[in-house]
Structure 1
Amino acid sequence: MSLASREALASARESLDALADNTSVDAAKLAADLTAVTALLDREVSLRRVLTDPAQSGEAKAELVTRLLAGQVGGECADLVAGMVRSRWSNSRDLVDAIEELASGADLVAAERAGDLDDVEDELFRFGRIVTSNPELRAALTDKVADRSAKAALLRELLGGRANPVTERLVVRLVTAPRGRSLEGGLTALSKLAADRRDRMVAEVVSAVPLNEQQKQRLGDALAKLYGRRVHLNLDVDPEVLGGIQVRIGDEIVSGTIADRLAEAGRRMAG
């Protein structure tokens, strides 16, 4: 996104946070309404162009949104989208992407209120690992010609009763309406959004054996001190690391595994 769209998105996130502070707002319904608006603007290219046309006044665009959405979505959703179209967007796609992000954010608010946000973060990570390790499942979920309802049914069979309802909704939306993203990229974005909900970074940690609670606490504290933010640990076990741990935060890798030290020693000997 360009600067204008980033500023507009930041303002929209603040508006969502304000709604999140109001416990009378049904966050799950807001998420569903925002998802419906995303689908509408994905279909109606000319409408989203009008709503991001810099030649039109913000108030005129807000009034148009209010009229179009009246009776179709809740008042909170209509007000939120009306506020968004008052802002300046660099292109129409940025507006739709932002509304979709707010839909996911609203679902994460629902999980946070229920005390389930940590579970949702962990389930998104674990589902990503399952997809990565199962090529047949990935192929079924990313098949561009497969029916959306069939994909949704498959996911509900896999996740229903086993995962938090918020996790299920997020994954079903991503798979049935990827909007140009890869499955892995979409899951990573959702994990980051969940972490940002608590102002934390996400660290993918691979160790040779499972870490105990004391080790996880020490690692989390060390990373928080290093990065100046709380860090959520997504844990995975891989015996091939031969001891130690490997930590990935974004594009940065902090490695302390025996395998890496052996490889480095080999490189030095070869040099």
Structure 2
Amino acid sequence: MGSATTQARTATAQALAATPDVDLDVARELFAAVGAVSGSAQLSGALSDSSVPADARAGLVSAVFGSSYRPATVAILTSAAQQRWSSAAEFVEGLEELAIQATSVAEPADIEAELFSFSRTVASNGELELALGGRMGGSAAKGDLVSSLLGGRASAGTTLIVSSLVSQARGRRVRALLRRAERIVADQRSRIVATVSAAAPLSADQQTRLQNALSARYGSSVTLNTVIDPTVLGGLRVQVADDVIDASVSARLADLRQRIAG
């Protein structure tokens, strides 16, 4: 990711935070805009071309989206188009990130936990992963499949994010899309996501103590995503981004075997 894109992402996130009346309809329009921009090399190139004056790019946003989208949506898209992006592809990814962030703003439910739960479902079902991520089947059919799977089981915000991402995968793996969305939501809500591998479900008290310990370590609120893994045997394995805390029995046994062999 180029430095221009990093600055653009910060600026657009600030613009989103300053925009009133952001609801799921605005988020839905932002996802639709991602589809429109990613589907047209001419449009994505024109909106991300830093050699074109910012006012001209803003005018293009108004011409393309102004008559059919809400003012809040157009304002967010205009802010994004006026930034400097390192490439058209990164501009499209930036718009997608804005759509996910807008959903997070509008949806009070625990989107991170719902995304994680669905990603585990996908990981455990090869046929489902193929249906959602394969080249066969249209984008509308994939979106409908997500709606049928999550309807009544997840919030409207989570359903919107997942259905939009699988419909506009652009060659990316479904699980990678869900992990990215989870990270974006956690960052937007100033949370850290910790993936905890344990041999058995944690009690409420264990979860609270672990959250408090991790919050103290990382200086931020922590969301726990628990994976039941019998190979852990006992203890816990905790991963926060690239940081791994392995206090599992299996890790201790492996270390012991290495010492004996060495």
TM-score by length of 2: 0.95
The corresponding residue for 2:144 is 153
Conserved 8 A contact 1:66-1:79: no
The corresponding residue for 1:7 is 7
The corresponding residue for 2:82 is 86
RMSD over aligned Cα atoms: 1.4
Residue 179 of structure 1 aligns to a residue whose secondary structure is: coil
Displacement of 1:138: 1.0
**Alignment pair present for 1:264 and 2:255:** yes
Hey, which bits of structure 1, 4+ residues long, moved more than 3 A? none
The corresponding residue for 2:222 is 231
Q: 1:156 to 1:68 in 2, by over 3 A?
A: closer
Displacement of 1:156: 2.1
Structure 1 residue identity aligned to 2:113: D
Q: 1:124 aligns with which of 83, 108, 115?
A: 115
**Alignment pair present for 1:142 and 2:125:** no
**Whole-Å Cα distance in 1 between the matches of residues 196 and 146 of structure 2?**
26
1:10-69 residue CA offsets vs partner (Å, 9 max, x unmatched): 1000111112xx3xx141111111112111111221122122222221112112221222
Structure 2 residue identity aligned to 1:139: L
Unaligned 5+ segments in structure 1 are none
Displacement of 1:251: 2.1
% identity of equivalent residues: 35
Residue 117 of structure 2 aligns to a residue whose secondary structure is: helix
Displacement of 1:197: 2.3
**Alignment pair present for 1:167 and 2:158:** yes
Q: 1:36 to 1:133 in 2, by over 3 A?
A: same
Conserved 8 A contact 2:211-2:223: yes
Residue 244 of structure 2 aligns to a residue whose secondary structure is: strand
Q: Where in structure 2 are the equivalents of 1:1-271 lying within 5 Å? A: 1-19=1-19, 22=20, 25-112=21-108, 116=109, 118=110, 120-271=111-262
Displacement of 1:145: 2.1
**Whole-Å Cα distance in 1 between the matches of residues 201 and 49 of structure 2?**
53
**What number of residue pairs does the alignment pair up?**
262
Displacement of 1:149: 2.6
